[in-house]
Chain A
Amino acid sequence: MSLVPFPFLGPTTPTIFERSRPGRSGTSVPRPDVPTRPLEELIPARHLRASPPRLPEVPEHEAVRHYTEISLKNHHVDRALYPLGSCTMKYNPKVNEQMARLGGFAGLHPFTPAEAVQGALALMHELGEMLGEIAGMDAVTLQPAAGAQGELTGVLLMRAYHQSRGEAQRRRVLIPDSAHGTNPATVALAGFEVSELKSNEAGRLSVKALREALDERVAGLMLTNPNTLGVFESAILEISELVHEAGGLMYMDGANLNALTGIARPGDMGYDIVHFNLHKTFSTPHGGGGPGAGPVAVMSHLEPFLPVPTVTSEDGVLSLDWDRPRSIGRVHGFYGNFGVLVRAYTFIRMLGQSGLREMAEAAVLNNAYLSARLESRFPLPYGRGMHESVFSGAELKKKTGVKTLDVAKRLLDYGFHAPTVYFPLIVAEALLTEPTETETKEELDRYADALISIAAEAESDPELVTGAPHGTPVRRLDEGRAGRELDVRWSFPEG
């Protein structure tokens, strides 16, 4: 098993500000061809800034060289496996990029009258319908800009629903202890309280704990499915029935639908609300941290509360409907991350009915195969998951002193990104691993071989692993120092 050094292993790259020299000019900008007047006659001097913002002064090609150089220090999906569990780092089809940049989309101003944006609205309308089918639900908003904003939308929908029924006292949201951090953070942001439910020994929501927690103050249950352990909540029908009987709503964090698309639908499971992350299941690029898109699908009883505006179609003419008096309001400045919607739409249309199902099946097969290859070295405390599995490094740590963090860092030397580590919180030394459907058997083997090799290194030469990474653009970084001695912007030299 060979190591894969990074393309760029040179010295530290100075910041763009250090490359700047006074008087060097960048890209050229049109000068006015209208009659001009001195700026001070147009804007009173008291409003003008004394000195310009200290942006770098570099020629365009120097900027290109600078950002190209630093780009080479990034791991990325087009280089090799990127198995961050719950993040779904799959291949980003290149055609999507071309489509989002078409002049009729990229150049479109959001306040263009509806008659001149029929194509954009048609795409949104059709995407909403398709997501509704995938969810098995009645109505969709495309406005949330990311998963966490989809969650906020969903929890505010719960709130509006209960208020409309005179049940404003329902302010408690139940969340399993395996949930993603955005779930409890969102509930708090919506002004609700979080009640955490313990998972059972199988990694599933405990029906007993649920029964005990349900009362007339419960607004609903937020339940990822398959949950963050990759395990399907097989009692979901009973769970939904219990929550509904108690007057609550069922919210599915559907950020990751990679196991279920075309196989089973949240609506059939009894969920009332589900949000999607188009940047996970539907292949839009993660962009080094965004943009995403977090559409929300709902059952008909929640439809009146969806954010404004919604896209409506009447006799083939599309428009934006602002007249929705019971709406929770708008969650985004405009209509959400439209460019991301174009990419997801292109992907869904290419895969179509059969391709989406095959996508899910391949994601599950890849994860099962990788789990089978690894579980003798890295146990699966809750068993194999569907599209992702959580391995534990606890035994390895006990035997060798090598922690999951060290294993993660050593993987970087083998040319892979690490899985999500130390999450979910209920697994000790967790390695949450999601290979996705777009990896070949050979790539999965390479990755499994690397982990097996690292486990062997941990026994034979633990310091090699605890000292990793060795072949990356920088070695292990002092995160404590970054927090203590804050340096979060370039300090310009005096004068």
Chain B
Amino acid sequence: MSFLTHSEADRQEMLAAVGVSSVRELYGDIPASLILADPLPLPDPLSEWEATSLVSGHAARNAELVCFAGAGIYDHHVPAAVDHVLRRSEFYTAYTPYQPEVSQGTLQSIYEFQTMVCELTGLDVANASIYDGATATAEAVLMSLSVTRRKEIVLAGHLHPHYRQVVRTYTQGLDVSLLNVGAGEAGTVEEGALEVTDATACVVVQSPNALGLIEELSPLAERIHDAGALLVCAVADPVPLALIRPPGEQGADVVAGEGQPFGNSPSFGGPVVGLFAAREKFIRKMPGRIVGATEDTEGRRGYVLTLQAREQQIRRERATSNICTNQGLNALAATLHLAMLGREGLRQVAETSVQNAHYAAARILELDGFELLYPDTPFVREFAVRTPEDPRTILSRGLERGLLAGVRLGRFPDLETPDGLLLAFTEKRTRAEIDRLVDVLAGR
């Protein structure tokens, strides 16, 4: 199956118009020694049906499980209408809105997305998306370095280990230092333990943190701002933002987050959608595309990409970021899902998830040898438990019963916790499924 266009007659007619006798003549600038004499060792073409069978065969070798895993990717229901709109050619076969007069659909949806991200995070301005939560966090760190012209980054408490690693990757070539501040006894960041100096560009705190615990951001913010640094709040799970105080209200200067639960399937971790929001005074230092409203020559409201002088296509090596292609369609999926859920719907998604999680926690704590890692610290819909046997054994038992029984903490040495399981709950989980999880944990 190919998507070629021309008949032999077309080809001849076009070659004649160009004034050459074969397509190979058009490759005359390539040294002959570089032209492949033999075809690439790739498989033969397949018809659409053959390709469908092949690819479906790969998909079928992956287990479809009842999911209790989270750690940055959550198994929510996406309404059919979201995907229906997403599949409109007008949206998914368009590109970055370089010609705004014929891209108002994309531009208006991004403007609405930016508004929703501001509402969720409690901040003033948001961009059109970053690749994911981890890279959004790295971009927030880079922005903090640029805003403060300082060279020290503090990563505090239980930050998602992958976010930490991506920050490390992104900053490895820069003349900056990364400091780690461990979590306190409650599993959260303690104000007294923070080392913030006049060299500190930012402190990164995740809330709810990588173990699902809610951080107290306000006292941290005060301390950080006193030192002239920025508080970057990483959000690996945005659903709790429907219920808990938004980071912007608690003094966060930047929220760098993951938007996957809104409209995007887990998809083995991508494509998802990085959220980036900040205080308005930082807008000229922000990475990525930003859409703004304006008027056309007849006074009609319309939307354009704005503040492009920050970006690589204009500023080149002095750009605020190198990002070009972002996660446009995933941001649209999030916009659609949030629009369809609305105020009450999103609250209900969060509340059902919370109730499921707390019911599960209560049941699990009745089991011998299971305890919460941090029993006295509030969580929203994800929590960590110690297990009486190797979590790998439990996960295998779960797989046999069609269930993904959480994420093994031992896979994250950076977290410096004892081994155990991290369990997450969404509105999709039923009491029967949770009871089945409890049985798997108990070895029943």
- The stretch among B9-17, B195-203, B221-229, B365-373 that forms the contact with chain A is B9-17
- Which residues does chain B contribute within 8 Å of A364, judged by CB atoms? 23, 26-27
Contact A77 B94 (CB under 8 A): yes
Contact in complex: B90, A74 (CB < 8 Å): yes
Q: Is B147 an interface residue (CB 8 A)?
A: no
Does B233 count as interface, using CB distance less than 8 angstroms?
no
Flag if B322 contacts A152 (CB, 8 Å): yes
Question: Are B269 and A472 closer than 8 Å at their CB atoms?
Answer: no
Tell me, yes or no, whether A148 is within 8 Å of chain B by CB.
Answer: yes
Total chain B interface residues with beta-carbon distance under 8 A:
207
B440 to chain A, nearest CB (A): 14
Please state if B94 and A334 are interface contacts (CB–CB under 8 Å).
no
Complex contact B266–A441 (CB within 8 A): no
Q: With A102-B55, A287-B92, A330-B169 given, is the CB distance from A488 to B119 under 8 Å?
A: no
Q: Is A495 positioned at the interface, with any CB of B under 8 Å from its CB?
A: no
Asked whether B342 lies within 8 Å of A113 as measured between CB atoms, the reply is: no
Contact across chains for A49 and B55 when beta carbons are under 8 A apart: no
Contact A369 B89 (CB under 8 A): no
Chain A contacts for B401, CB-based, 8 A: none
1/0 per residue, CB under 8 A from A, across B382-419: the answer is 00000000000001100100001001100100000000
Would A334 and B270 count as touching, CB distance under 8 A? Answer: yes
Q: Are A148 and B322 in contact (CB under 8 A)?
A: yes
Q: Are A25 and B111 in contact (CB under 8 A)?
A: no
Query: With A15-B111, A82-B95 in contact, is A71–B90 under 8 Å at CB?
Result: yes
Contacts of A6 in B (CB 8 A): 102
Mask: chain B, 102-119; 1 = CB below 8 Å from A; 0 = not: 111110111110111011
Mark A446-477 against chain B: 1 for CB-CB distance below 8 A, else 0. 00000000000000000000010100111111
The reply to whether B34 and A269 contact each other, CB–CB distance below 8 Å, is yes
Contact, CB under 8 Å: B351 / A32 = yes
Q: Is the interface of A mostly helix, strand, loop or mixed?
A: loop
Contacts of A356 in B (CB 8 A): 40, 42
With A16-B339, A288-B332 in contact, do A488 and B266 touch (Cβ < 8 Å)? no
Q: A329-B165, A437-B3 are in contact. Are A159 and B173 (CB under 8 A)?
A: yes
- Which residues of B lie under 8 Å from residue A474 when comparing CB positions? 100-101, 104, 296, 300, 302
The yes or no answer to B191 lying at the interface (CB within 8 A) is no
Given A78-B93, A159-B173, A441-B14, are A231 and B29 neighbors across the interface (CB < 8 Å)? yes
Q: CA–CA, A333 to B6, complex, Å?
A: 42
B420, chain A: closest CB distance, angstroms: 14
B85 at the interface (CB under 8 A from A): yes
**CB atoms of B294 and A74 under 8 A apart:** no
Pick from A89, A119, A182, A371: contact of B57, CB under 8 Å:
A119
Q: Does A299 lie at the interface of the complex (its beta carbon under 8 Å from any beta carbon of B)? A: no
Complex A-B, nearest 3 residue pairs according to Cβ-Cβ distance, in ascending order: A334-B269, A289-B328, A191-B173
24 contacts between A and B (CB under 8 A): A26-B339, A28-B345, A33-B431, A37-B358, A43-B354, A47-B244, A60-B340, A105-B267, A116-B404, A119-B60, A236-B34, A264-B34, A279-B325, A289-B97, A291-B328, A332-B132, A342-B55, A350-B45, A350-B46, A359-B2, A364-B26, A474-B296, A486-B306, A487-B293
